[in-house]
Each structure stands twice: as structure tokens, then as C-alpha cells.
Structure 1
Amino acid sequence: MMQWLSSADFSVQQHDIITRRQEGTGQWFVDTPKFKWWLQGFDKTLFCLGIPGAGKTMMAAIAIDHLCRMILCDDIGVAYLFCSYKAQTDQSASSLFAALLKQLAQSRPDITAPVTHIYDEHSKRGSRPSLDEILRVLQSICLNYTTVYIVVDALDECTDREGARCRLIDKLRELQARIDVRLLFTSRFIPEITQKFQSNPILEVRAHEEDVRRFVAGQIPRLPNCIQRDEKLKQAVQNKIIEAADGMFLLARLHVDSLLDKRTKQKVLSTLEKLSKGLATLDEAYKEAIKRIDGQLAEDRSLARRALSWIICVQRLLTTKELCHALAIEPGNKTLNYDNLYDVEDVISVCAGLVTVDEESSIIRLVHYTTQEYFERVRLEWDPGAQEEIAVACLTYLSFDTFRSGSCANDEAFE
């Protein structure tokens, strides 16, 4: 019944994000007076703004983790959403509210009668509940809690087609007017979003120096031996990356990755010398990553370009298995050649730190929304044949002999 209500599982994403946290990171966030006032209900809505790569999603995950650890009784509810630019087609207002309803109903099996009612009503007709129905049931479920905390990450990545983003904000506020619902949103600085929260407390999310230091220290074991064995050089790496990151975890990560192939002290020092400060260096860091990709052996360079093209161009997120199958397809194939499958670790290793895998869900994605934006600006220049290659691969796959008989008549044939 819950799967019918919503196939989204944001708890998997929460687990993937929070497990990447360096211990102690973001403690400043939950210790701020504004967060504490929101927690205690003095302010019902907290709006968290931040520049790209500042760690807003991590702070949202830290807030969720803090709530889940703090709440020890059944009459306080916690639900959350992670909006994503790659899942916009699946994140309409109806599907987002259905995901919130699913979380709050799952936490209390004793209050699921309203959900059972709409399930019985719609499942026999093969229909879906309307947004108004979902909201009515959501309100009914929320009435069983004394307080409900709702965290919405990345409002800026929520689609605004058919006014989905505005409806999400407005309907949550309507719910808040009737019930003790406390809302926390994160977003980039986008005028049409920020103006909706002018009357609410605003907490700026920024990577604190101590947090960046913890992050970089945790990355040192990944770096070449010439850094790990030289305490002075290790300290120089940490200090320079912290300075150059300028409040962005993303930039710190990209700078760390730029050192992965620097295996002499001179090359490390030369790379550190090039690091400059400021937001504009995000593009510079991406350019440097592309240089590293293009400087690899021909096969590795080709693999990186093909893998990145698939991840950039797809309309939804891919699993690691899906990507590896896509990369194994060659024009003229009549079947999938399993001897041509890549190991996903090899795919990641040639992409210069620009892709990451969510361990729990096996989703492979770009490290950040800004990575997608950067490649959309340079794609025609960097890889002009990407769309054609993907089209050929898809047509080749659809032409495999196994599909020649058409669609399957029953589940057994499909299996």
C-alpha cells in the first residue's frame, strides 16, 4: 500500500548523505539560535540559503539526523524531501506530498486508516489520488501528531512546471496554519524563491573553516604517498585548500581531487600555487578536471567522456548497473556482450572526481548540480557527438534479438 502511495524512498538518500559526513561537521548549524528557535517552535519556518557547493544538502541531512535522534516518542513526526534536478519529472507536487504522507503514515501503522481508504478506492479502478485528496489525508494523518517537522532540501532544484514549487510551498504553509508543522527549506539564492521567505528567519549555510579542515583531513588517505609521508606538505595541502575553498565544500572536494595524480612534491606545490580564491574558481576547477580527463590514456579518456555524456544527458538518474550496460553497447550488436561490461570502480576512477555513487541505492550521479550546469554550457564544444552516440546505443539495444518477439504477454515471459 505504501509503495502504491509513493515509490520514492528518501530515507535511502538520507543514509547515503549522512554516512559521508565527517564526524563533527555541521555541529555549528544545529547549535545556532535560529535552528534552536525553529526546533522549539518559536519560529515555525526556517529558510536556509547558501551559495552553490556550500553544503546545504549535508546540513539538511544533519538537521534530519538531529531530529531523528532527538525525538523519542511517537507523537512527533519527521518527514523530508530531497529535490533533484535529475528527478523533476517524478517530483510533481502530488508525488512530493505523497512521499511526505508515506513517511508520516509508515511511522505510525496505527493511524493509516485514511491511507487505506484511498488505496481501496483507487487501486480497484487503477487510478491515482488527486493532490487535494492527498493533502486531505496528509492533514488527517498530521492531526495524530502533536508536532510535525518537515525538511525540504534544494527548493531551487524542484521543478516549477505547472507551478509545482509554488504549490509545494503554499500548501505546506496552509497545512502549517492548521497544525503545528515546522518547516525547514534549503535553496540557492534565487529571487523568486527568496522573496517567498522575506518574513521568515533566514540562516545562511556556509562551509565553516573548521568543517572544511575536518573534510580535507578525512581525504588525506586518498592522496599520493608523497603527501601522506611529508607532514609539512600535508599541512600545506590542508591550509591552501581551506583558503581556496572560500566557504564551499564542493570546491574543497574538487581541489583535493586535483591532487590525486600528483605524485611528486614539486607537482603538488605547483598545483597548490595555482589555486585561487573565489566563486569563479568553480568553473576553473571543472576545467582542470576536464584537462585531467583529456590527459589520460586514449581508452580511459574515451570511457570518461562516454560515461559523463550518459550521466549528463539522461532525463532521470541511472543506477551503476544501468550505466555499465549502456557503456557495453556497441553498434551492430544483436545481444548484450557481458564480456564487454566495465567495472563501475574503473568508470568512476577515470572521471576525475566528477561523479559519485550513492552506496545504498547504487545511483551514479554528478557530484553537484553546478557540474550539470557547467557541462550543459560546454557540452557542444567538449563532446558534440554525445547525443548521436546515445541515440545509436538506445536503438541498438532496442534492436537486440531478445526483443524481436515484441512485448511480453505475461509476467513469466517477462522474467
Structure 2
Amino acid sequence: MSNQPEDSSLKLLSYRRNVFARFRSPKPRSANGSTAASRSLSASLAMRTPSSAIRAADVGMDVAGEIHDTPPSIKSILILIESNIVGDQAGHPSHKTVQPLQQVFPILSNHLKSESRTSTTPPSNLSVADPGLKSANHATNTEVGVMNKFERVQNVNTGNNQGVIIQQVINQVVDLGIQITLQTIEDKQLVKDICAWLSPPDSSRNYHAAYTILKSQPDSCSWFLNGRSFSKWLTEAGFLWIKGKSGCGKTILSSSIINHLSKTQISLATAYFFFDGRDSQNELQLHDKLIRALIWQFSLKCGNGVPKVLADLYSHCGNGYQQPSLDDLHNVLQKVLGGFNSAYIILDALDECSERDKVLDWVQTVILYKNENLRLHLITTSRPEKEINDKFNSYHCVDLVEASENHDIELYLDHQLQTGWQKWPPEIQNEIKSTLRKQADGMFRWVALQLMELKKCRTQKAIREQLNNLPEGLDETYDQILLGIDKKDYDYTKTFLLWLCFAVRPLTLKELAETVTVDLAAENGPKFEHENKLQDISDVLKMCSSFVIESKYEIKLAHFSIKEYLLSEHVLPTFCNLKHQSQ
């Protein structure tokens, strides 16, 4: 008999654990993978929205009464589950259920107020059948795998039918998958028309180019992804600024963050934008383009439809006859973001935006309006230029060079020396690694350029002389590269580089090679000079050396710092000097 209380306690403890486990676990699935829908509703009490259901118990008993010492807030919820939801077999909880819950969790009040403004009427001039208008409550009950260690309930989501999802009510809160409370219109032609009208730019090439580099060094950026700043940003909505000097790996880190978010156990509502100032193509340089890209990326998270707020704007603009104002785009993005339980945005190279003031004001506005964007997680990367620093310095920031402690540069050097320097003895490789690591000052770009120059050395003596005379910083390195251009190639090289600086669209290798056949300084206007044509267009890459990269048959400057260097006053004497030598 002495063991009976202990057995009873263990039973109760086990029962409680099962009850709370069901608050956070996916719905049971059958052997063929489908959701087990054959359970009796009377034996499975649930709070439902169209997208998910959280089971209170799988046994027919008095839940609240059985758990005698339950905390008051949880007990209140369990009582409400029993008394108010069990009778609602249609899966549409009423105001009678929601109102008492608001007393326990005041956050529901604000959430419901915002939901009450949502219209369910499609635009009057859109011929869309009623079944096409849906509340896009796409959700999963899979855990993110990152625990938010705070005693509170977050990500409380209410559908347009005012159903309630309480994802976790124990001390540890777990974010679930994408949950959307946006009205959507499913019309394939409308989606195509709106996409063509919105014309969102695509910066995925920049992401893929950076990720290609990242894949060769899989442990790169792990110090950041496993660190406190990123973990806090991942689990708590807020703003994080990552700053660093030119060439220190900010874009690589951005691609690493995006890849990390894409490989979580669940789908996350993620959007990104890579500003790119290497040429004169405004698609990836304007604030307006950024907002359009974000609107469309989040719209794609809504399944096969398009958010009604975006369709309304399209209709308001004469079904695409007119373009929306910037304020209209801001408002639509704000409403779209408000429809997600959590939204993640990564903005790379903000300093390369040609409308920097507009972007800075917008980012700061989003941060200040945190009461309306409680679920927005925003990361930006940039150089610490004064106007950016003035705006963001009071917020949480990470200095990439200081925080990384050259960890990724060491990994990069190890990888490069293992793959392309086998002919050199270990002591030479160690000298190269030690010297470059010490003088890199956090700049990947500088290290990569030094390795390219060191590869030209043919003797150990030449390597040691090169290591003893390394240029300081990127500008001195670019000076060295320019001075190394063959005299007879100088005019061609200058032409190629300037065309790349000011190109308004991507140039292929063949197109770039043809630019030297046009004499823009001819006495009677531009003149075609057939004799200037290169016999081998690959010579363009040899002349431009490490200043350019080729990606998918297109040629671009290898880095934004090259454009800044070539157009700076600092480089003009170098150009003049080379011109004089070539004559």
C-alpha cells in the first residue's frame, strides 16, 4: 500500500506530460502518411482553425479536474476547452470561447482587433469565383527546433473565423511553421498579370554566387549561426545590423543565413534582397525595387493565390495601367507582413543602394513600428558608413571583423592551400597562411587577391619576397594589379572596365569584347573600327585579371570596391601613368 501514492503520482505525471505534448506535437498520422481523421470527435477535444488543430486530450475525462495543481492560466485554458469547444463540432470556435481567453492572454485582444479589419470581399472588378477567395492559413505543427526560453505565450494566431491557436503554454515556447491570416485570391491569370505589373527584381543570382563560395567551406559562418546574436534574432522578433569593412565577407554571411533558414525543419516565411552597386543597373539599387521584391516573395508564400491586399492595389491602379506610389507599396508590404505569424527578412549590402536615405528611413520606420511588427525578424548588412552608423548604432549590431576573429579566413586559407598548393613544402604553406592571416584585417577579398598574386611565383625566394612586400588594404592591391597590366593591353582593359562600371544591363563576354571596336572619340562621332576586334574574346578575362568574374555567360566587376576604386580620384594618377607608359 505504501507504493500506491507513488504509483498514482507517476500516473498523473505521465498523463500531464502526454497532455502538454499534444499541445506541441503534430496531429497523429496513419501508416500511409495521411492525417488520422477517423478518431471520434467526442474523444478528441480540439481548438481549431482552418489550418490546424491542437488536441487537448485523447481520453474522455475531465481534463482540468484531473490536473489538480495546474497553474491558474493553464487551468483556465483547459476549462475553456472542455466547456466551450467540445460542443462546436464544426470547428468554428465562437466569441464565447475567445473572449475569456483574452482575459488570460491580453495579446489576443490586439490580435483580434487587427483581424476584424480584414475584408472578405474580392475586388469588384475582378471576375473571381467565390471558391477562389480563401483565408490562406497554411500551417504546420512541426517544431522549429529552436526553443525560446521565456515564460510567455507567443505566436498566438487567430484566423478570420476567430479560431485560436495556442502553440505552447509551458515555460518553453516553440515557434511553429508558416501560419497565414491573409485573404488570397486564386486565379492563375491574375497572379501572372500582377507579377508582370509589379515587376519584382530577382537578386537570387547574387545569393547563388555567394553560396557557391560558401559550399566549398561548409564550416564557414558557423561561429555566427551558433552564436548568441543569431539565436536571439531567430527566436525573438527584432532588428540586427551586421557591419564590416569592404571585402570582409558580409555577402557570404548573408547567403549562409538564408541557406540556414531554408534548411530548418519547417518552412519559414523568408525573403531577401541583395543590393548590388557594381554597375548602373538599377534593378538591385533602388528602394522601390526592394519593396516590390519583398512583397512578391512573401506573396509566393501564400500558396497558389495572391494576397487580396495586393490584388486590391492592382485593381486601384486600373488593373495594372498605372504604377503604384511608394506609399502604396509600403502599406501593402506592411499588411502582408502582418498576415504572417513570423517573417524573416535579410537585406545585404545596404550601402550599395543608390537611394540609401530612403532605405534607411524605411528600415528605421519598420523598427519603430514594432508594435505592429511584433513578428518581424530583420537583418541588414553594410559597411559602417557614417549615415548608416548614425541610424543603426543605437540598435543591436555585430562587427563582423571583430566577432569572427579571423575564424572564417583561417578556414578559407586552409581550403585554398590544400587544393592548389600541393607542390609547395609545408613550411612555405605555413608561412603563407600565417602572414596573410596576420595582415588580412578581416578582409576575404584582400586574402584572395594576395593568393592570386602569390601563385605567379615560381620559387620559394619569390614567395618570401612577395610576402615581405604585401600591399596594405584593397586600394594598394588594386594599384598593384593595374600597374601589372601589360602596356599594350592598357587601353583595351580600361575600356572594358569602364563599360562594366556603367552598363545598364548585364553584358556577355562577346558583347564586352565588341566594345573596343567602337571609337567613341572619333572626330565625326562614334566610328566602328573592325581592325580593333579581338580574335579571341577570352583575352578579355586575361586582360581584366582579378577585376572581373564570369557567371552564367555574363561578365561583372568582381566586387563593389573595384567600381569605387576605378571611379575615385585616387586611381586617376595611376591611369595617367599607365597611359603615358603605353605610348
Tell whether the structures are fold-level matches, with TM greater than 0.5.
Answer: yes
Aligned residue number for residue 196 of structure 1? 391
SS in 2 for 1:184: strand
TM-score computed with the length of structure 1 as normaliser? 0.79
Structure 1 residues 3 and 257, CA, compared in 2 at 3 Å: closer, same or farther?
Answer: farther
Per-residue Cα deviation, 1:320-358 (whole angstroms, up to 9, x for no partner): 34423324445789879699367664322322312223x
Percentage identity across paired residues of the two chains: 25
1:320 aligns with 2:514: no
In structure 2, which of residues 488, 494, 499 is the aligned counterpart of residue 310 of structure 1? 499
Structure 1 residues 344 and 244, CA, compared in 2 at 3 Å: closer, same or farther?
Answer: farther
Residues 334-349 of structure 1: pairs in structure 2 closer than 5 A = 340=533, 345-349=538-542
SS in 2 for 1:370: helix
Q: Which amino acid aligns with 1:79?
A: A
Is the contact between residue 479 and residue 574 of structure 2 (CA under 8 Å) also seen in structure 1?
A: no
For residues 187 and 72 of structure 1, the distance between their equivalents in structure 2, rounded to whole angstroms, comes to: 29
Following superposition, the deviation at residue 72 of structure 1 comes to 1.8
Per-residue Cα deviation, 1:67-103 (whole angstroms, up to 9, x for no partner): 1112623xx3111121233457443332211111111
Per-residue Cα deviation, 1:39-81 (whole angstroms, up to 9, x for no partner): 111x5111111122211111111111111112623xx311112
Q: Which amino acid aligns with 2:557?
A: L
TM-score computed with the length of structure 2 as normaliser? 0.57
Any stretches of 5+ residues in structure 2 without a counterpart?
Answer: 1-193, 579-583
Which deviates the most, 169-178 or 252-261? Answer: 169-178
Structure 1 residues 289 and 335, CA, compared in 2 at 3 Å: closer, same or farther?
Answer: closer
SS in 2 for 1:200: coil
SS in 2 for 1:356: strand
1:5 aligns with 2:198: yes
SS in 2 for 1:80: strand
Structure 1 residues 139 and 385, CA, compared in 2 at 3 Å: closer, same or farther?
Answer: farther
Q: Which amino acid aligns with 2:434?
A: N
1:291 aligns with 2:483: yes
Aligned residue number for residue 16 of structure 1? 209
Aligned residue number for residue 114 of structure 2? none
Q: Which amino acid aligns with 2:461?
A: Q
Aligned residue number for residue 173 of structure 1? 367
Aligned residue number for residue 212 of structure 1? 409
For residues 288 and 558 of structure 2, the distance between their equivalents in structure 1, rounded to whole angstroms, comes to: 28
Structure 1 residues 268 and 345, CA, compared in 2 at 3 Å: closer, same or farther?
Answer: farther
Is the contact between residue 44 and residue 181 of structure 1 (CA under 8 Å) also seen in structure 2?
A: yes
For residues 311 and 236 of structure 1, the distance between their equivalents in structure 2, rounded to whole angstroms, comes to: 36
In structure 2, which of residues 288, 293, 297 is the aligned counterpart of residue 99 of structure 1? 293
1:265 aligns with 2:489: no
Higher Cα Rg, which structure:
2
In structure 2, which of residues 510, 521, 546 is the aligned counterpart of residue 353 of structure 1? 546
Per-residue Cα deviation, 1:166-222 (whole angstroms, up to 9, x for no partner): 333134336643131111111212232122223321111125433212223443488
Aligned residue number for residue 58 of structure 1? 252
Following superposition, the deviation at residue 379 of structure 1 comes to 4.2
SS in 2 for 1:352: helix
Following superposition, the deviation at residue 152 of structure 1 comes to 1.2
Aligned residue number for residue 565 of structure 2? 374
Structure 1 residues 325 and 205, CA, compared in 2 at 3 Å: closer, same or farther?
Answer: same
Aligned residue number for residue 266 of structure 2? 72
For residues 573 and 506 of structure 2, the distance between their equivalents in structure 1, rounded to whole angstroms, comes to: 24
Following superposition, the deviation at residue 18 of structure 1 comes to 0.8
Coordinate RMSD, CA, aligned: 3.1
Is the contact between residue 513 and residue 533 of structure 2 (CA under 8 Å) also seen in structure 1?
A: no
Aligned residue number for residue 115 of structure 1? 310
Residues 79-90 of structure 1: pairs in structure 2 closer than 5 A = 79-85=271-277, 86=279, 89-90=282-283
Q: Which amino acid aligns with 1:151?
A: I
For residues 150 and 365 of structure 1, the distance between their equivalents in structure 2, rounded to whole angstroms, comes to: 26
Which deviates the most, 229-238 or 241-250? Answer: 229-238
For residues 291 and 93 of structure 1, the distance between their equivalents in structure 2, rounded to whole angstroms, comes to: 38
Which deviates the most, 281-290 or 46-55? Answer: 281-290
Is the contact between residue 243 and residue 382 of structure 2 (CA under 8 Å) also seen in structure 1?
A: yes
For residues 27 and 330 of structure 1, the distance between their equivalents in structure 2, rounded to whole angstroms, comes to: 51
Aligned residue number for residue 249 of structure 1? 444
Per-residue Cα deviation, 1:104-141 (whole angstroms, up to 9, x for no partner): 11232334333333334436563211112212222232
SS in 2 for 1:46: strand
| Larger helix proportion of the pair | 1
Q: Which amino acid aligns with 1:173?
A: I
Structure 1 residues 340 and 117, CA, compared in 2 at 3 Å: closer, same or farther?
Answer: farther
Structure 1 residues 263 and 2, CA, compared in 2 at 3 Å: closer, same or farther?
Answer: farther
Aligned residue number for residue 44 of structure 1? 238
Structure 1 residues 118 and 324, CA, compared in 2 at 3 Å: closer, same or farther?
Answer: farther
Per-residue Cα deviation, 1:286-326 (whole angstroms, up to 9, x for no partner): 12111222xx3624x443232222223x1646333442332
Structure 1 residues 114 and 341, CA, compared in 2 at 3 Å: closer, same or farther?
Answer: farther
Is the contact between residue 513 and residue 534 of structure 2 (CA under 8 Å) also seen in structure 1?
A: yes
Any stretches of 5+ residues in structure 1 without a counterpart?
Answer: 387-415
1:130 aligns with 2:325: yes
Following superposition, the deviation at residue 27 of structure 1 comes to 0.9
Greater relative contact order, per chain length (Cα 8 Å cut-off, separation 6+)? 1
SS in 2 for 1:114: helix
For residues 370 and 211 of structure 2, the distance between their equivalents in structure 1, rounded to whole angstroms, comes to: 27
Is the contact between residue 238 and residue 367 of structure 2 (CA under 8 Å) also seen in structure 1?
A: no
Q: Which amino acid aligns with 2:494?
A: R
Structure 1 residues 339 and 199, CA, compared in 2 at 3 Å: closer, same or farther?
Answer: closer
Q: Which amino acid aligns with 1:195?
A: D
Aligned residue number for residue 412 of structure 1? none
In structure 1, which of residues 30, 33, 36 is the aligned counterpart of residue 228 of structure 2? 33
